Structures are given as structure tokens and as C-alpha cells.
């Protein structure tokens, strides 16, 4: 019999995968559990990965450190946490968490904002 926390995590990962697939990322796949070299839970396509968490007590520092390691392992351009909210079944209403620095990189890549001041000073 499987560990209850593993089953809970598997359900959250599958729900997040299915949500992303129906909201513009049809190639989203779950990674296989148990690899020594952990590259995250979901890969939305080349360069994008997410780690899914379904815990009642957040461990933000630990989780963000894991995401940074997994991002490097996956050689991803962008990585984030998907955190299930208590009592909320719709993954579209869960949380997507990343550092402000990573969020700023996404904003700039989408055309919002200017180059960082350090880049402007160097030119």
C-alpha cells in the first residue's frame, strides 16, 4: 500500500498537470518519482518546470531551494512552485511561487520593463 502523503502528492501533481494541459500547455508531463537527479514534478515544455506541493504547513525556504536545484538539474529557463491551497480543488486557484528576481525575469521576457540598471550602467 502506498504512503498517504505520496498519494496526496500524486493527486496534486496530476491535477496541476491536467490544468496546465487544458490551459495552453498541452505537452505538460509529470516526471517519474524516485530519480536521484530530481528535475521537478512537471515539465511544461523545453525550459519550463514546476515543483508541486500539497502540504498544510509551508516550508518556503526549503521548497524554493529545492526548486533552484531542480531548475539547474532540468536546465530550465524558468521554474516555480505550485502550492495547493487548503480546501481549494481548482489548480487554477492554487499558488504559483517564485522569487521576485525570477518573476522580474519573466516580466522582462514578456516585454514589461527595462533592462536592469546594472546593464544600463555597463553600456
E strands of the chain, at which residues?
A: 29-30, 42-45, 48-53, 78-83, 95-97
What fold characterizes domain 4-111?
Trna Endonuclease; Chain: A, domain 1 (3.40.1350)
Stated pTM of the model: 0.84
CA distance 46 to 28: 10
**Mean pLDDT confidence for 16-33:** 92
> pLDDT by residue (tens digit) across 44-81?
988 999 999 999 899 999 999 999 999 999 999 999 99
pLDDT score of 121: 61
pLDDT confidence bin for 118, thresholds 50/70/90: low
pLDDT confidence bin for 114, thresholds 50/70/90: confident
Structure-derived torsion over alpha carbons of residues 69, 48, 86, 57, reported in degrees to the nearest 10 = 10
CA distance 18 to 25: 9
Higher per-residue confidence, 26 vs 117: 26
pLDDT score of 123: 57
Average pLDDT of every residue of the chain: 88
pLDDT score of 119: 60
pLDDT of 1 strictly over 80? no
**What are the residue ranges spanned by the domains of the chain?**
4-111
Amino acid at each position: 500500500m502506498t504512503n498517504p502523503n505520496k498519494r496526496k502528492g500524486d493527486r496534486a501533481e496530476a491535477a496541476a498537470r491536467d490544468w496546465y494541459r487544458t490551459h495552453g500547455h498541452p505537452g505538460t508531463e509529470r516526471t517519474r518519482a524516485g530519480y536521484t537527479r530530481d528535475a521537478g514534478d512537471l515539465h511544461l515544455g523545453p525550459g519550463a518546470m514546476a515543483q508541486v506541493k500539497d502540504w498544510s504547513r509551508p516550508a518556503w525556504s526549503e521548497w524554493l531551494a529545492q526548486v533552484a536545484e531542480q531548475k539547474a538539474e532540468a536546465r530550465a529557463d524558468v521554474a516555480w512552485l505550485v502550492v495547493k491551497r487548503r480546501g481549494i480543488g481548482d489548480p487554477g486557484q492554487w499558488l504559483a511561487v517564485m522569487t521576485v528576481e525570477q518573476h522580474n525575469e519573466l516580466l522582462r521576457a514578456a516585454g514589461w520593463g527595462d533592462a536592469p540598471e546594472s546593464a544600463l550602467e555597463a553600456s
